[in-house]
A and B are shown apart, each in its own frame.
Chain A
Amino acid sequence: MMDLLNILLSESFWAASLRIATPLIFGVLGALICERAGVLNLGIEGIFVVGAMCGWMAVWLGAGLWGGVIVAALAGAFFGLLHAILTVPLGLSQHVSGLGITLFATSVSYFTYRTALPNVSSPPRIEPFQALDIPVLSDLPFLGPVLFQQTALTWLALLMVALVWYVMNRSALGVALKAVGDNPDSVDAQGLSVYALRIWAIVAGSALMALGGAFLTMSAFDAFFFGMVNGRGWVCIALVIFASWRPGKALLGALLFGAFDALQVRLQTEMGALVPGQVFLMAPYILSIIALVIAARSADYPRALLTPWFKGQR
């Protein structure tokens, strides 16, 4: 029991929680934007992979870290656009298209990586984002190490939470996005384009998802591995339901998940002798399912989610 308390009070635990939460924050926000506009994006898992691979490769080719971030976002946006074309004007099954995008984006990434680096045994490393060392603030007790020794991408993620919150709750664009996910006819009748709103929402959401992937290769690690995304995208799809499509709760959900993941790593070292390590590895996924089960009943799904809309058919 004391051990648990020690863990929960340690700076490193909370710093790790925020670090682990970062890619999820990007992913949940991206999924949130897509679903608010009425389109489920199961391409998320593949878009994470593409973001991770493209970001890393751009840096490896000399584009610079921020260049890598931009390349990752553009790559995510591209696959998002593909999903958008299939599901919005063509109105095809969002489930199948999303899974198709995941398979396609993953295989494009793997193929490109293998073709660029045919015979490497250990993946080449890049110099990743370093912790932003802000003078005074970083030296604050507790908060300093937790908040002010994160990399710039974590800060970008937090900034995005604020930005998405502002757009959703305070801007005309947010009103239109919520409306198009609830009843596309309401948007169409007012002379706005349902297609344009949905397509741009998916493109923007997918770009954010890709940043989640980029964080993995450019901040959490310093290289690209096969299978490194490991279900993080799917976790985001569960978390967005848990968050009832609200940016603030999305941040909370991602942080809770990060904290739990950080906790399991630490418990594993503490109790490794008693319980097989895999029990702890499984925990985050089980937690996601539990969160989903708890939230599902009361979830206030965007009413038009999964329903295609065609112009002139009402």
Chain B
Amino acid sequence: MTDQTVLKLNGLSKRFGPVVANDDVSLTLGRGEVLALLGENGAGKTTLMNMLFGHYLPDAGTVEVADPGGTLHPLPLGHPQAALAAGVGMVHQHFALAENINALDNITLGSEPLLSLRRDRRAAERKIKDIMARSGLTAPQDVPVGRLSVGERQRVEILKALYRDARILVLDEPTAVLTPQEADTLFANIKTMTAEGLSVIFISHKLREVLAFSDRIAVLRHGRKVGEMATSEADEGTIARLMVGADTPKVAREAATPGAPVLTLQNVSVAGRSKRDTLQGVTLTVHAHEILGIAGISGNGQSGLANLISGLAVPTAGMIRVDETEIARPSAATMVAAGIGRIPEDRHHEGIVGAMSVAENMVIERLGDPDIQSRGLLRRDAIQANAEGLAQAYDVRGPGVGAAARLLSGGNIQKLILARVFERAPRLILANQPTRGLDMGAAAEVGRRLLEARGRGAGVVLISEDLDEILGLADRIMVIRDGALVEAGTMDRAKIGLMMAGEPA
């Protein structure tokens, strides 16, 4: 690490309608430095980086990038092409890869003239080999990217940036999809690259990895930079306070004794379309007064398990029992009727019908109830009254229960779903990634509600890719890998991490 500055953001501001995403944010980055950009969901980290990379045009502010000689030049804003040319590469949280073409094509895309009919693949292959050798990042080059693993795809993403001679690399939540061990490898690779002069900004909300792997930390809150310090001088408590603005709300957790089984799966298999929704002979039992955490790396069958419990997937083998009753022909409707409350992973896509009203979304799971309809006609007054009551009780804020549900913020959409699920006092709750994308306050509210249900005697299946969340809420942990479930038998972070990666603990 040297003193030479390679990047300066000067007073960047960005508004989306009434929402201030970034307000007068300034940052500097040194050559060979790893800067962690820390903040809650919605703090404006990604927006800031999207302005740097030209995806958004800032309302105010400038960006300066150093040329290879070290002289700072202003960067034309709003042009990804200009950012690329200046040596800024970005790896998005959602990979920007075309799955029907191979890694080499993804990497070279846009760096060759489109209208020339000949391509020099040889030279491209050589250059990529060279980069892979220097950085330690490897990925197969000649199969469609759709067949690569998540870790490999991420490496393709980074190779893309390095191929364009990036000297500044921005990584948006790079470890969200990796096992703890894979994440360690990634950071080791980053160290190799920074030693060669690459500068890195990585966005995260995981305090642990920020403290372990960065040189400097900048904290954003509500779009403003609220703190900046050398990592050596930082500690977890200070940063957490900076992120949230107050002490982190700790979810109070009381001991509970598990009761009778509420959900039993015996050797259940689901034939999914891909690895992520396939289950192979899964056996589990959830008891009353118990939160069962399902840990695992994204795409290892979590969707299959969620689909099964939600009634969206029909098992090819095995038996499902809710309380004492065997569910012979599972469907979403029978599962709801059996007393299962489901909090879906993708709340926008599966949780709500965005174009329909908040009130309608609150009754969508119980259209058969006589207090919602009589003789096939909707009882609109009852639906309205129900919605107003629930909005009050669950603090669903927005333009009113008559407005389209898509107008609600992410946190309020989740509250709508919580209201719909919890008002029926379900016997079992399936919570699939219930806090993803929520700010800390809303996430804490979800945790509180789950614990409350547990206290009332419900069983909870909590599927999460955030191990810290599971460790904080679950009474018992199982690990899912390749569609199979194993009892963790421990609350030890490192051991569970190894099991997630498929290695013996």
Question: Is there a direct interface between A and B, measured as CB atoms under 8 Å apart in the complex?
Answer: yes
Instruction: Spell out A's residues near B (CB within 8 Å).
Output: 166-167, 170-173, 175-176, 178-183, 185-192, 300, 302-303, 311-312, 314
Nearest CB on A from B178, distance (A)? 20
Residue pair B109, A192 in contact (C-beta under 8 Å): yes
Q: Which of B78-109 contact A (CB under 8 A)?
A: 80-81, 84, 90, 92, 94, 96-101, 105-106, 108-109
Max chain B Cβ within 10 angstroms of own Cβ: one of A180, A181, A186, A300: A186
Given A172-B119, A179-B106: A186 touches B98 (CB 8 Å cut-off): yes
Rounded to whole angstroms, the CA-CA distance of A275 and B395 in the bound complex is 71
Query: In the complex, which residues of chain B have a beta carbon less than 8 angstroms from the beta carbon of A303?
Result: 99-100
- Cross-chain contact of B97 among A176, A183, A302 (Cβ < 8 A): A183
Q: Is the CB of B119 within 8 A of A178?
A: no
Nearest CB of chain A from residue B410's CB, rounded to whole Å: 15
Q: Chain B contacts of A166 at CB under 8 A?
A: 117
Q: Give complex CA distance A303, B146 in Å.
A: 11
Q: Which of B80, B98, B111, B116 contacts A182 (CB 8 A)?
A: B98
Q: Mark B48-84, 1 if CB is under 8 A from A, else 0.
A: 0010000110000000000000000000000011001
A185 to B90, CA, bound (A): 12
Given A190-B160, A191-B80, A179:B92 Cβ within 8 A:
no
Contact among B55, B106, B112 with A186 in the assembled complex (CB-CB below 8 Å): B106
Is B55 a contact of A314 with CB atoms below 8 Å?
yes
Given known contacts A171-B117, A314-B92, A192 and B110 CB-to-CB distance under 8 angstroms:
yes
- B117 near A175: Cβ-Cβ < 8 Å: no
Closest 5 CB pairs of A and B: A190-B110, A179-B98, A191-B81, A189-B96, A185-B96
Chain B residues within 8 Å of A186, by CB: 96-98, 106, 109
- CB neighbours of A312 from chain B (8 A): 50, 55-56
B101 touches A175 (CB 8 A): yes
Q: Does B377 contact A (CB under 8 A)?
A: no
Known: A166-B117, A182-B100. A187 touches B110 (CB 8 A): yes
Q: List 5 A-B contacts (CB under 8 A).
A: A173-B114, A173-B115, A179-B100, A179-B106, A190-B110
A302 to B106, CA, bound (A): 16
Residues on A with beta carbons closer than 8 Å to the beta carbon of B17: none
Contact A189 B92 (CB under 8 A): yes
Flag B228-268 by CB within 8 Å of A: 1 or 0 each: 00000000000000000000000000000000000000000
Bound Cα distance from A83 to B376, whole angstroms: 42
Which residues of B have CB within 8 Å of A173? 114-115
Determine the chain A residues whose CB is within 8 A of the CB of B115 once the complex forms. 173
Residues of B within 8 A of A176 (CB): 109-110, 114
The residues of A that contact B118 with a CB separation of less than 8 Å are 171
B101 in contact with A182 (CB, 8 Å) = yes
Chain B residues with Cβ under 8 A from A182's Cβ? Answer: 98-101
Please, which residues of chain A bring their CB within 8 A of the CB of B114?
172-173, 176, 192
Assembly CA distance A222 to B391 (angstroms)? 70
Distance of A7 from chain B, by nearest CB (Å):
40
Also in contact, A190 and B109, with CB within 8 A (given A170-B119, A173-B115): yes
Question: For residue A314, which residues in chain B have a CB less than 8 angstroms away from its CB?
Answer: 55, 92, 94
Shortest CB-to-CB span from A6 to chain B, Å, is: 45
Tell me whether B55 and A302 are in contact (CB under 8 A).
no
From known contacts A170-B119, A189-B80, A190-B84, infer whether A183 and B109 are also in contact, taking CB-CB under 8 Å: no
- B interface list, Cβ under 8 A from A: 50, 55-56, 80-81, 84, 90, 92, 94, 96-101, 105-106, 108-119, 160
Chain B nearest CB: distance from A299 CB in Å? 13
A191: contacting residue among B92, B108, B110, B119, CB under 8 A = B110
CB distance from A260 to the nearest CB of B (A): 30
Q: In the complex, A84 Cα to B190 Cα: how many Å?
A: 43
Q: A173-B115, A314-B92 are in contact. Are A191 and B84 (CB under 8 A)?
A: yes
Query: For the complex, what is the distance from the CA of A207 to the CA of B193, rounded to whole Å?
Result: 49
Partner of B100, one of A167, A188, A190, A302: A302
* Complex: A43 Cα to B119 Cα, angstroms: 34
Establish whether residues A178 and B101, one from each chain, have CB atoms under 8 Å apart when the complex forms.
Answer: yes
Please tell me which one of the listed residues A171, A185, A188 contacts residue B119 in the complex, with CB atoms under 8 A apart: A171
Q: How many Å lie between the Cα of A180 and that of B160 in the bound state? A: 17
Residues of B close to A167: CB separation below 8 A: 117
Q: How far is the CB of B346 from chain A (nearest CB, A)?
A: 16
Output the nearest chain A residue to B106 by Cβ-Cβ distance.
Answer: A186
| A302: chain B residues within 8 A (beta carbon) | 100
Partner of B98, one of A187, A300, A311: A187
Question: Closest CB-CB distance, A168 to chain B, in whole Å?
Answer: 11
C-alpha spacing A179/B115, complex, angstroms: 16
What residues of chain A lie closer than 8 Å to B50, measured between beta carbons?
Answer: 312
Cα separation A267 to B109 with both chains bound (whole Å): 51
CB of A183 within 8 A of CB of B96, answer yes
With A171-B118, A183-B96, A189-B160 given, name 7 new contacts (CB 8 A): A166-B117, A171-B119, A175-B108, A176-B110, A183-B98, A191-B110, A312-B50
- Give Cα distance in the complex from A171 to B117, angstroms: 5
Given the known A-B contacts A189-B80, A189-B90, A189-B92, are A178 and B100 also in contact in the complex, defined by CB atoms under 8 Å? yes
User: In the complex, A300→B92 CA distance in Å?
Assistant: 26
Distance of A128 from chain B, by nearest CB (Å): 33
Contacting residues, chain A, for B92 (C-beta < 8 A): 185, 189, 314
Contact B112 A172 (CB under 8 A): yes
Are A172 and B113 in contact, CB atoms less than 8 angstroms apart? yes
- Name the distance in Å between A169's Cβ and chain B's nearest Cβ: 11
**Measured CA separation A98–B87 after assembly (Å):** 41
Please give the distance in Å from A192's CB to the nearest CB on chain B.
5
Distance between Cα atoms of A166 and B119 in the complex (Å): 12
Whether B117 contacts A178 by the Cβ 8 Å rule is no
Q: In the complex, A180→B112 CA distance in Å?
A: 16
Knowing A185-B92, A188-B96 are in contact, say whether A179-B101 is a contact too (CB < 8 A): yes
Distance A172 CA – B109 CA, assembled complex (angstroms): 7
- What is the distance, in angstroms, from B154's C-beta to the closest C-beta of chain A? 14
Docked complex Cα distance between A183 and B80 (Å): 17
Q: How far is the CA of A172 from the CA of B104 in the complex (A)?
A: 11
- In the assembled complex, the Cα of A185 lies from the Cα of B91 at a distance in Å of 12
Inside 8 A of B112's CB, which chain A residues have their CB?
Answer: 172
By a CB distance below 8 angstroms, the chain A residues around B84 are 190-191
Taking the closest CB of chain B, its distance from the CB of A179, in whole angstroms, is 4
Interchain nearest-CB distance for A197 vs B (Å): 8
Max count, chain B CB within 10 A of own CB: residue among A170, A179, A300, A312: A179
Closest to A313 in B: B55
Bound-state CA distance A55–B114 (Å) is 31
How many angstroms from the CA of A19 to the CA of B114 in the assembled complex? 34
CA of A170 to CA of B118, assembled, Å = 8
Which B residues are in CB contact (< 8 Å) with A171?
116-119
| Complex interface: chain A residues within 8 A of B81 (CB) | 191
Cβ–Cβ contact B105 & A185, under 8 A: no
Residue of B whose beta carbon sits closest to that of A171: B117
On chain B, the residues within 8 Å of A300 by CB distance are 100
* A273 vs B326: C-alpha distance when bound (angstroms): 63
**Complex CA–CA separation, A183 to B101 (angstroms):** 11
